[in-house]
Structure formats: structure tokens, C-alpha cells
Amino acid sequence: MPPAAAPASREREATGATVGPVLSRLQTLADGTRVRVLLLLEANEFSVGEICRIVQLPQSTVSRHLGTLAQGGWVVSRPEGTSRYYRISRTLADDARDLWAAVRNQLVGVPRVEEDRRRARGILDGRATGSRAFFRSEAGRWDQLREQLFGTRVDAALLAGLLRGTEAVGDLGCGTGHLTRLLAPFARRVIAIDRSPAMLGVARHRLRDEPSAEVVQGDLAALPVESGALDLAVVSLVLHYVVDLEAVFAEVHRVLEPGGRVLIVEIREHGRTGFAERMGHLWLGFRPEALEELLGGIGFRPLGIRHLAPRPEADGPELFVLRAEREGCREARQVAEDDPGVRAERPVLERT
């Protein structure tokens, strides 16, 4: 007759290690404190200290239970500063998840658990108190502080992020590629075009690590771009250097696909002749409505004009933004060439 099994080995048989993972998981969940802690960590991430304050138990006890939960794969943690934050694992095995769901259902309305929930809410509210107090006192200085901490590129990156990432964009009159660099990470393709080799040299260097950017020399009145290739054309601070606005707009119309948009940033009409001469400007700015009318005559649907309030630190003339959409499938140039009457009806923009 075989000797009877010793009590210790019988106990071992009953552990998860020999009988299977479900029993091991049951053992972990068969403790009221561990279940309360797991419930907390399912809803939010907490540090050991915070858990101690919620469940009202000493740190040694909480740490021991967290150790057991972590060992069983129920919770994970990450360090932050001098603390370690715990949360429930997002990769629980299916049987663990089912087991936990069954246990959790039994905890609804249990007074101790409800008390934990209230204390946890207090801890979370307390976390936000510091930031609330900060913004209460810093509201008047926040814009300045924001710029000091993060610079101005954050705004541009945020707005460029409104692109879907599938667009082909033309930065027409790209200059040194300042805008191209902001747009390139968020567009499928950005073609940066300028006629000045010196400006393009700076742009090429700036864009050397942007695979979606192409830098091409060319004139806006004869764009080196296939017809209908662009979804968006940006023409920023360029038109006051352009001799024949109509020719440029006709080209922008040609290279945009139907429904494509042009975004123009320009100088408002001004009387600063000395400034304009120094900068080589051909136009003393524009009346935005006049540009919009000109675009309308070439097959663009206006999408609106926005005046940009001058910044106190900027000493150049005021600016505006004008947006328009390329209509249907009309070829403006073709229309003009085929029908001289159309050209005659177009508004003529007078130099100011």
C-alpha cells in the first residue's frame, strides 16, 4: 500500500502551479483587499501612496498585495519621478478577464467598495487642484509663457496637422521653405517652387530631411507642375512681387484639381512707398476683395477673407488670408484664349 501523501504536498497539488492557471488566479482574487485594489486600478492609475490613502491600509500591506497582483500579471506599473504608478493590465488572458468580470459583478454596491470609490474621487480631484491653481494665477501671462516654453512652431504644426496626409501641396513662391517645412510632415507631397536660386538654396538645405518635399525652380506664371496635380496651393507673401496676377492665377487654377484650394496670405493695401521700394515690391498691397473678384473671374469660388490682427511686435503692414476653391473642370486659360470676351469682362486690378 503506497504511503499516504504528506499534508504539504497535498497543499502543493492544490496550487495553480500544479493544477493550472485558473486556480492560481482564483487564489489571487480570493482576497478582499486585492479585489478592492484591482477594482481601483481598473478605473484609474494610482501610486502606492495613493492606494494606501484610499484603502486605508499601511504601505507594507498594499505593496505586498500589489506584488502578488503584478506577479500574476493582473497589474502593470510605470515609474514617474520618485513614484511608481499601477493600473490593471490591458492584456489579461480571456479566462482571467472572465473571472475578473464575475468577481467584479459581486462588488457592486458593497459599502467598502463604494467608500474606496469616493476616496479615489477625492484623490483624483486633488491631483487637478494644482493645475487649476496654476492656471488661475497665470491666465494673464499664459500666452507669453507658452511662447517662451514651446515657441511658435507648435501652433503651425497643429494647424498643418489638419491636413489628412494624402494631399499634394504646392508652396508657390516658397522662398526659404519656411512653410514647406511646416507642411511636409503632414502632406503626401509638397512641391516648393520659387524663381530665386538663392532662396531655393536655403530651402533645399532646410528641407534636406523631408522626403515628401521637392524643391523646384520655376516661375509662378509657368508652373513646372502637371495639370490637376495639387490639392492645395499656398501663395504666401508672394503676389506683391508678381507682374501679371491673372497669368499666375490661371496657372494656379491649372495645377489644382477640381475642388482643390488656394490659400493666399497677402499684404493689405498701404501707403508705405519707402518700405515697398526697399523690399522690391511691385504692389503697395491689395484690397482683398479685388483679389477675390479676380480669382472669381478665373474659375475660383471664394471661401472667404480673414484679416490678421497685427501683432504688437510686428512692424510690417497688415496682412489678410484669402481662400478660394477651384471650380468644376473649367480650364481658365482655355476659356480666356477661346473667348476674348471673357477676358474683357474680367475685373482689372489697378495698382495702388
Counting every residue, how long is the chain?
A: 352
CA dihedral 45, 48, 52, 57 (to 10 degrees): 130
In this structure, the strands spanning 230-236 and 300-308 are unpaired
User: How remote is the C-alpha of 152 from its chain's centroid?
Assistant: 15
- The alpha carbon dihedral of 252, 255, 258, 260 has a sign of negative
- Rule CB under 6 A: say whether 250 interacts with ligand SAM: no
Parallel/antiparallel/unpaired status of strands 230-236 and 256-267 = parallel
Q: Which is nearer to ligand SAM, 43 or 282 (CB)?
A: 282
Please identify, among the stretches 20-28, 46-54, 189-197, 300-308, the one whose residues bind ligand SAM according to the rule CB under 6 A.
189-197
Q: Report the chain's terminal Cα–Cα distance, integer Å.
A: 116
- Choose which of 242, 264, 276, 322 interacts with ligand SAM (CB under 6 A): 242
Residue nearest ligand SAM, Cβ-based: 175
- Could you say whether residue 285 binds ligand SAM (CB under 6 A)? no
Q: Which stretch binds ligand SAM (CB under 6 A): 98-106, 127-135, 168-176, 299-307?
A: 168-176
> What is the identity of the amino acid at 189?
R
Q: How many Cβ atoms are within 10 Å of 154's Cβ, its own excluded? A: 12
**Residue from the set 12, 121, 153, 195 that interacts with ligand SAM by CB under 6 A:** 195
**Binding to ligand SAM by residue 317, rule CB under 6 A?**
no
Q: Which residues ranging from 217 to 236 are in contact with ligand SAM (CB under 6 A)?
A: 219-221, 236
- The verdict on 196 binding ligand SAM (CB under 6 A) reads yes
Q: Is 1 helix (H, G, I), strand (E, B) or coil?
A: coil
- Kindly tell me which residue out of 72, 170, 173, 288 binds ligand SAM, with binding defined by CB under 6 A: 173
Which cell numbers in the block locate residue 116? 474606496
Q: Is 178 in the site for ligand SAM (CB under 6 A)?
A: yes
The closest of 319, 317, 318, 321 to 275, measured between CA atoms, is: 317
Q: Does 169 bind ligand SAM (CB under 6 A)?
A: no
Which range of residues in 86-94, 121-129, 193-201, 338-346 is near ligand SAM by CB under 6 A?
193-201
Nearer to ligand SAM, 64 or 178 (CB): 178
Residue 116 contacts ligand SAM per CB under 6 A: no
CA distance 233 to 217: 16
Which residues of this protein are in contact with ligand SAM, per CB under 6 A? 173-175, 178-179, 194-196, 199, 219-221, 236-238, 241-242
